[in-house]
Amino acid sequence: MLKFKTVEELKPNPKLLELIKTYTYKTKKGKVKVLLNTNLQFIEPTEYLITYPITLTILEYKVNEISNKPFYIKEHKQKYNLKEIETFLKKFQI
């Protein structure tokens, strides 16, 4: 059986929390895990689940070296940066 060790617990992004404070949401902390007896790292993203007035699942990855877009919206299947998320969320402002 595979055994993992949590190396780091990722905290929610304060800037994104400020953007979604008027929405109904839940957050789930992300984790950086290492497979024991190897040097393989696995990153569980920080999850922001917005339930009202829209339903969105935003995943925040710790590192995205290829495209400076650490956020992923599951429902749209696209990557975003913080500025793009901000303009996207303003459309649904209460």
What's the rounded Cα separation, in Å, for the pair 71 and 86? 11
Looking at residue 63, its pLDDT comes to: 67
Is the pLDDT at 64 greater than 60, yes or no? Answer: no
Q: Round the average pLDDT of the chain to a whole number and report it.
A: 90
**How sure is the predictor about 87, in pLDDT bands with cuts at 50, 70 and 90?**
very high
Residue 88, token pair as written in the block: 């996207």
Could you tell me if 17 and 84 are in contact, meaning their C-beta atoms sit under 8 angstroms apart? no
Question: Taking the model in full, what pTM does it have?
Answer: 0.85
Is the pLDDT at 93 greater than 90, yes or no? Answer: no
Mean pLDDT of 37-63: 91
The number of domains in the chain is 1
Range of the domain at 29: 4-90
Torsion angles phi and psi, residue 8, rounded to 5:
-150, 140
